[in-house]
């Protein structure tokens, strides 16, 4: 029981990162290969969660998914799912909130590739997507790893969005960051210390891994 917030945090971070890979890679394709007049607006939109206070995102999600909203009612009446106060809702919130942490490393990686790679793809008769998937993506492995680790670590530390749409329900939405807040409020400081220490070490270790593996991969692929 005492570890359940940590396990929940890890689960949330893991699922969010997976989803972000699934969403992030196609989005990077659109961002880098299909530039147009709309690109600066898209870039700004996808970078919003970086600067937006988490409570803004939490608030809009609450409004969007609440049982009184059209979407909320459709979800609960037709599909029988309720996203507010559930783990699934947390995943949605985290995916939006950690999106820039996946996208930015990926698009930086794409920018650093030489244009000759794209030209080779064209010579080989690949479509834009094929070039992207077979030639470009494998060459930004360090960026892929960095994006994943940053998204994971960022989701671990999330508090505002989680509290607003999750509701601090034990074993369901009480992730470690929220549990710390709860334990401090309950004056159970030893638990607060435990969760904080675990989160701190996890975050630090992840960042170390990110730094060392990215460097190592860079040497292999440079």
Partner 1 sequence: MRLRTYISIIAFCTLTLRLSAGEITVAAASSLRAPLEKIAEIYKERFNSEVKLVFASSGKLASQVQYAAPYDIFISADMNFGLALFEEGLTDGGPRPLANGYLALWSSSPLPNDIYPTLTDPLFGKIAIPNPEFAPYGKLAYDFLKDEMLENRLDNKLIIGSNVSQVNQYIHTDQVQMAITSWTTRYQLGSKGYWKKLSSFKLVNTVSLLQSAEDPGLAKSFIAFLFSEEAREILSEYGLESTTYK
Could you tell me the smallest distance in angstroms from the CB atom of residue 41 to partner 1? 29
CB of 219 to partner 1, least distance (A): 27
Helices 87-111 and 4-33 cross at an angle (nearest 10°) of 40
Q: Which is nearer to partner 1, 122 or 134 (CB)?
A: 134
Nearest Cα to 97, choosing from 164, 40, 41, 32?
164
**3-state class (DSSP) for residue 190:** helix
**Stated length of the chain:** 222
Q: Are 161 and 93 in contact (CB under 8 A)?
A: yes
Retrieve residue 217's tokens. 């991969």
- Nearest partner of 204 among 162, 160, 156, 141, judged by Cα: 156
- Does residue number 11 form part of the binding site for partner 1 (CB under 8 A)? yes
At closest approach, how far in Å is the CB of 62 from partner 1? 7
206 binds partner 1 (CB under 8 A): no
Number of residues that bind partner 1 (CB under 8 A): 29
| CA separation for the pair 148, 194 (Å, rounded) | 26
Query: Residue 76 interacts with partner 1 (CB under 8 A)?
Result: yes
Q: What is the largest CA-CA distance in the chain?
A: 66
Closest distance of CB 114 from partner 1, Å: 27
Radius of gyration (Cα) for the chain, nearest Å?
20
Q: Which of 20, 91, 156, 198 is close enough to bind partner 1 by CB under 8 A? A: 91
From candidates 26, 40, 53, 67, binder to partner 1 by CB under 8 A: 67
Q: Check: CB of residue 109 under 8 Å from CB of residue 217.
A: no
Smallest gap, in angstroms, from Cβ of residue 169 to partner 1? 6
Q: Using CB under 8 A, which residues numbered 181 to 200 contact partner 1?
A: 182, 184-187
Q: How far apart are the first and last CA of the chain?
A: 47
- Whole-angstrom distance, CA of residue 137 vs CA of residue 131: 9
Stretches 16-24, 29-37, 115-123, 201-209: which one binds partner 1 (CB under 8 A)?
16-24
In the bound state with partner 1, the residue whose beta carbon lies nearer, of 168 and 191, is 168
Between 187 and 222, name the residue whose CB sits nearer to partner 1.
187
Residues 113-172 that bind partner 1 (CB under 8 A): 167-172
- Residues forming contacts to partner 1 in the complex (CB under 8 A) are 11, 14-15, 18-19, 21-22, 62, 66-67, 76, 82, 84-88, 91, 167-172, 182, 184-187
């Amino acid at each position: 029981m005492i570890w359940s917030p940590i396990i929940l945090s890890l689960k949330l971070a893991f699922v969010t990162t997976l989803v972000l890979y699934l969403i992030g890679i196609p989005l990077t394709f659109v961002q880098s290969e299909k530039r147009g007049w709309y690109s600066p607006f898209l870039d700004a939109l996808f970078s919003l969660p970086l600067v937006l206070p988490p409570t803004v995102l939490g608030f809009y999600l609450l409004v969007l998914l609440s049982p009184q909203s059209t979407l909320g009612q459709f979800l609960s009446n037709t599909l029988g799912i309720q996203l507010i106060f559930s783990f699934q809702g947390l995943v949605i919130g985290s995916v939006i909130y950690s999106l820039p942490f996946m996208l930015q490393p990926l698009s930086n990686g794409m920018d650093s590739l030489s244009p000759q790679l794209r030209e080779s793809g064209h010579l080989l008769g690949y479509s834009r997507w094929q070039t992207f998937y077979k030639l470009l993506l494998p060459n930004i492995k360090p960026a892929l790893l960095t994006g994943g680790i940053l998204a994971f670590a960022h989701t671990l530390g999330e508090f505002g969005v989680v509290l607003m749409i999750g509701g601090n329900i034990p074993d369901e939405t009480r992730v470690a960051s929220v549990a710390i807040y709860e334990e401090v409020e309950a004056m159970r400081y030893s638990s607060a210390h435990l969760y904080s220490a675990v989160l701190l070490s996890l975050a630090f270790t992840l960042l170390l891994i990110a730094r060392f593996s990215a460097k190592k991969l860079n040497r292999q692929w440079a």
